[in-house]
Structure formats: C-alpha cells, structure tokens
Amino acid sequence: MIRPINNRRVLTVIPSTTATVAGNKLHLDRKAVDGLAQYASRWNGTVRCIMRKGDEKNIVFGESYDPGDLPFTVDVVPEHSRLTAADVQGAAVVLRAATIILITTFHGSPRRRSSTSSKIRSRPNSTSSGWKKRRRSGA
C-alpha cells in the first residue's frame, strides 16, 4: 500500500529498478540509491521513491539497506501493480522511467500515460548553437 502524501514539496521518483524486502531491510540497486541520495541532497523537501517488488537475483549491483538510514522514503509495490494518479497525488514533481506507465483519469475515463504521450522538447540554450541543425538532420 502506498502511503498518501499531502505535502507539495515532495519529489516522487519511480525508477525502472526493482526492490526486495527481507525482514526490515531493503535490497536495492546501489546506483539507484546513489542517484536518489543526490536528489535528496538537492531537493528542498521530501524525496519519495516507489519501486516495484522484484527478484533479488536480478539486482546485480545491489546492497541491503536499513530504510531508516536512507535520506529518502521507499514504497515497494507488487511487481505487476498498476500505478494510478492517486499513487502520486500530492507530489510537486514526479520523475518516472520511460518504461513505467501511469493510469490516469481524464474526463472520467482511464487513459494510459506513457513517455510517448508527453511531448516534451528540449530548447536550445546559448551553449548549443548547432542544436537546430542537428535536430533537422536527425542526428
């Protein structure tokens, strides 16, 4: 069960990596923990992570962690559970892996939201003068 959050200063991260729970320890990917710790050190608020339950043997570079020692919270959900807008309600920002699909409600009917449905474009800045040329050529 995902805990509800009612704080607008929450960064919710939904990575593609999985987690396992063994007693009171979490077995997590070290790279994911390092990245989440970086978010926690820079975000002015709470960092929350929602991970799917997985098999420990698939977490090749994993370690066991005491949840109280992590600078972020971790909610572990069943492997094939569907995440909905209610699961991320209250978050100021949601970062998710492109492989994660959120089920949202739009005018009363469920819609699938994937990374392809969100049209986000990078805008050039002063250091990327060749951006438009590379973009047009497909490079």
Contact present, 103 and 110 (Cβ < 8 Å): yes
62-65/102-106 β-pairing? unpaired
Q: What is the CA radius of gyration of the chain?
A: 17
**88-131 pLDDT, tens per residue?**
888 888 888 876 666 554 444 444 444 433 333 334 444 444 44
Task: Using CA atoms of 99, 103, 104, 108 in order, give the dihedral in degrees to the nearest 10.
Answer: 150
| Rounded-to-integer distance, Cα 38 and Cα 106, Å | 34
| Rounded-to-integer distance, Cα 51 and Cα 70, Å | 14
In this predicted structure, the answer to whether residue 52 has a pLDDT above a threshold of 70 is yes
| Rounded-to-integer distance, Cα 37 and Cα 136, Å | 37
